[in-house]
């Protein structure tokens, strides 16, 4: 038997571990806790690219202009183009900035499954709008 030391690659944002650097880098790029993450769902549906940091900033600016509390679910949905992963990443970032976790009383949260269903319905609608006339 041989005993061998091996490297473990750990995500800077969520502490998930990998045996291969490549996989860790791929994960980090899209990690829901990375404030500069690149969203695979937005890429897939061509929703444009905005980082969680940029979206949170946009929310704060928009609500200040409207004189509202900055965290409204409709506004979050709007700013993230309804992408459930982006919505989640903004919530995670905002809670972290405020030193809260998702179990804290003042923490914001979203119903991820419901947002995902809503999003896929919107995508289907859009798909029909674009392609239905062709059939």
Of 44, 47, 45, the C-alpha closest to 55 is 47
**With respect to Zn ion, which residue has the nearer C-beta, 44 or 104?**
44
Identify which range of 2-10, 77-85, 109-117, 124-132 contacts Zn ion by CB under 5 A: 77-85
Residue 14 as a binder of Zn ion (CB under 5 A): the answer is yes
Rounded to 10°, the helix 84-97/52-66 angle is 80
Residue 16, classed as helix, strand or coil, is: coil
Of 72, 23, 79, the C-alpha closest to 51 is 79
What is the distance in angstroms between the CA of the first residue and the CA of the last residue of the chain?
Answer: 64
**With respect to Zn ion, which residue has the nearer C-beta, 79 or 85?**
85
Residue 93 as a binder of Zn ion (CB under 5 A): the answer is no
Residue 11 as a binder of Zn ion (CB under 5 A): the answer is yes
Residues that bind Zn ion (CB under 5 A): 11, 13-14, 16, 31, 39, 41-42, 83, 85-86
């Amino acid at each position: 038997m041989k005993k061998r030391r091996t490297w473990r690659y750990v995500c800077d944002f969520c502490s998930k571990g990998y045996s291969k650097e490549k996989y860790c880098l791929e994960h980090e790029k899209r990690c829901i806790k990375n404030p500069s993450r690149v969203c695979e769902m937005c890429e897939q549906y061509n929703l444009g690219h905005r980082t969680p940091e940029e979206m949170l900033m946009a929310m704060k600016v928009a609500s200040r202009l409207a004189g509202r509390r900055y965290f409204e679910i409709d506004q979050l949905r709007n700013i993230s183009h309804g992408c459930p992963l982006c919505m989640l990443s903004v919530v995670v970032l905002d809670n972290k900035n405020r030193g809260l976790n998702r179990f804290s009383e003042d923490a914001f949260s979203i119903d991820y499954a419901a947002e995902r269903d809503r999003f896929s319905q919107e995508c289907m609608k859009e798909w029909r709008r674009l392609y239905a006339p062709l059939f």
